[in-house]
Chain A
Amino acid sequence: MKAVAYANGMPHQRFVFVPMPVMGKSPAELRAYVDGKDPVTGKPVMAEVIEALSKPLSEEDKKKISFDRSTPRFVDSDTEANLHRLFLENQWTDRLPIVLPTEERVSEMLAATSHKPNEVVGRMRPTSTREAWEYTVEKVAVNAVMAGAKPEYFPVILALAASEVTARASTTTSAAAMVVVNGPIRHEIGMNWGIGAMGPYNHANATIGRAYGLLSQNLQGGSEPGKTYLGSQGNSYGYNSLTFAENEERSPWEPFHVQHGFKTEDSVVSIFRGCRTTSFNLGLREKHWREHVRNMLRGMNPHNPPTLILDPITARQFIDRGDFDTKEKLIQWIHDNATMPAGVYWDYQLIRNYVYPRALNGEEPYATKLKAAEDELIPIFRLEDIHLVVVGGETNGYWRIMGCHYQKSVSIDEWR
């Protein structure tokens, strides 16, 4: 809170805190908060409120402060051991060992793109209420080196940076990103879309995803626990941002990037955010597959729409069971079958926080959903928020649903 106020030019903003949580507490319990003490200062809450509104501004409050906000190109020279310690102390890493970004290593990375080192790639922020920091091709390369990426991966990493979508959101919800790569570059740099594609053991998948996390935290101005990272439980997906390639060769449907306006021969990276809720299953049973899928969908957090991540075996089984010969047909079925009573839907805390205010403002389809009777079944998700990706090595028909928001797809070819 204080960091956001500082970054928005209000370094002396006056705050009063009450205990957490506020969510779910009764009026009587919240009255006790009001009558109680600020957990940060130990002073009575209402005495602080009155003081914040009526205590004259001090000289400190009126003082103009200087914002030292420069970023040097280099770090002061030191031994490798001391530099590793410095990077840890400065919270420039994910706390795993890094490759120190010497000028030579960064130059090798920069040689893998036609773009100039000082070209601005984009701006990024940990949340919409914070200020956006700017970064160049060279700054992206520094983080790519730290992650252990090979230079041939650099166009993918630049495309991720150009998305301006952070993989290190400050949200208390512990969000992580998911990255899907399509097109010829998958072959060129040896990405994995088969056995174990979403796990360890592939250098490109592992280090591209790690680079995305490191560049996000450093280029947006930090991801400091308690200050600019507030995920209450955290999320180990964040170590490599669930980075994998789509199994285009074994998918029965058109690739994800073609669905989003690109050509088959284009190389593209697509980014999803959220990635907390995961549901998992094996295949589709003939008699009750519809009920099984509905159960999975109702188990998702209703604020994070489903992206189905299907092994090719399951993708073909969806065609066998439901005649879904295009992704669009299956997406429509998911939309129509992911339902719950309106009263239950509107009572979810995340729906209260993020959807209900939009419904009150008349935003569709939420406004129409709000008119439904308590027991009326309503679609949980918007059609346009539901997606399908095919990945896996066909060792069996396992599949999962990831609760996440698709953000955008970015050309990798433009960053070669």
Chain B
Amino acid sequence: MRKNGVNRNQEAAVGRSEKIVVMNPMGYPPTIKQLGMAPRLDSLDGKTVYLVDVRFDDGDILLQQMENWFTEHKPKVKTVFVRKSGVYTQDDTTLFQEIKEKADAVILGVGH
């Protein structure tokens, strides 16, 4: 049988204006170490721009279209289209080392 709520409602009315203390439910965040941004290029002309696909949701086709745009509109920019190895959550140290050595700039296509 369901209980009659009248008495409990009266009790609640008395306590409505009272202030109480409760505990915070959030966890403890780690410290964030800020990374500096790479210096920007004065011009892209004559520079090598890597277009990196992370293998998610047809991002490769989008980046290839972007590469076509560079060919048509910025012919002095050298573009290199690459697919990173593994799924998007995995590192690709070989590719990122290559980019450090050979690229002036990177466009990373994140498929989300």
Which residues of chain A have a CB within 8 Å of any CB of chain B? 1, 6-13, 18, 21-25, 27, 30-31, 33-35, 46, 49-50, 53-57, 61-62, 64-65, 67, 69, 71-75, 77-81, 83, 87, 92, 100-103, 106, 124, 128-129, 131-136, 138-139, 142-143, 146, 172, 214, 218-222, 230, 349, 352-354, 356-358, 360-361
Contacts and interface: CB of A to CB of B under 8 A. Distances in A.
B101 interface: no
B22 A100 contact: yes
A103 B87 CA distance: 45
Q: Which of B27, B35, B43 has the most CB of A within 10 A?
A: B27
A221 B88 CA distance: 23
| B-side interface size class | 35 or more
Q: Which of B25, B28, B34, B90 has the most CB of A within 10 A?
A: B25
A90 to B, nearest CB: 8
Contacts of B95: none
Nearest to B21: A77
Nearest to B47: A53
13 contacts: A10-B34, A22-B58, A25-B58, A30-B62, A71-B28, A81-B16, A103-B23, A131-B30, A136-B28, A139-B28, A142-B23, A352-B55, A358-B86
Interface in B1-38: 15-37
Contacts of A135: 27-28
A221 B26 CA distance: 7
A128 B28 CA distance: 17
Given A57-B40, A71-B24, A353-B57, 11 more contacts: A22-B59, A23-B57, A34-B65, A46-B66, A71-B28, A101-B22, A132-B30, A134-B28, A134-B30, A221-B26, A361-B85
Nearest to A27: B61
Contacts of B107: 49, 53
Nearest to A7: B32
A349 B35 CA distance: 34
B24 to A, nearest CB: 5
Contacts of A72: 24
A53 B25 contact: no
Nearest to B15: A80
Contact of B73 (A1, A27, A46, A78): A46
A31 B70 CA distance: 12
A56 B40 CA distance: 5
A101 B23 contact: yes
Given A357-B85, A360-B85, A73 B55 contact: no
A151 B35 CA distance: 44
A252 B68 CA distance: 62
A349 B57 contact: yes
A102 B20 contact: yes
Contacts of A221: 26-27, 29
Nearest to B106: A53
Contacts of A22: 57-59, 61-62, 111
A9 B33 contact: yes
Contact of A9 (B17, B21, B35): B35
A146 B26 CA distance: 12
A132 B29 CA distance: 7
Contacts of B26: 71, 92, 133, 139, 218-219, 221-222
- Closest CB pairs A-B (n = 8): A219-B27, A133-B27, A23-B57, A69-B29, A135-B27, A218-B25, A9-B35, A31-B65
Contacts of B20: 77-80, 83, 100, 102
B27 A218 contact: yes
Q: Which of B20, B35, B36, B44 has the most CB of A within 10 A?
A: B20
B89 interface: yes
Q: Which of A21, A31, A131, A219 has the most CB of B within 10 A?
A: A31
B42 interface: yes
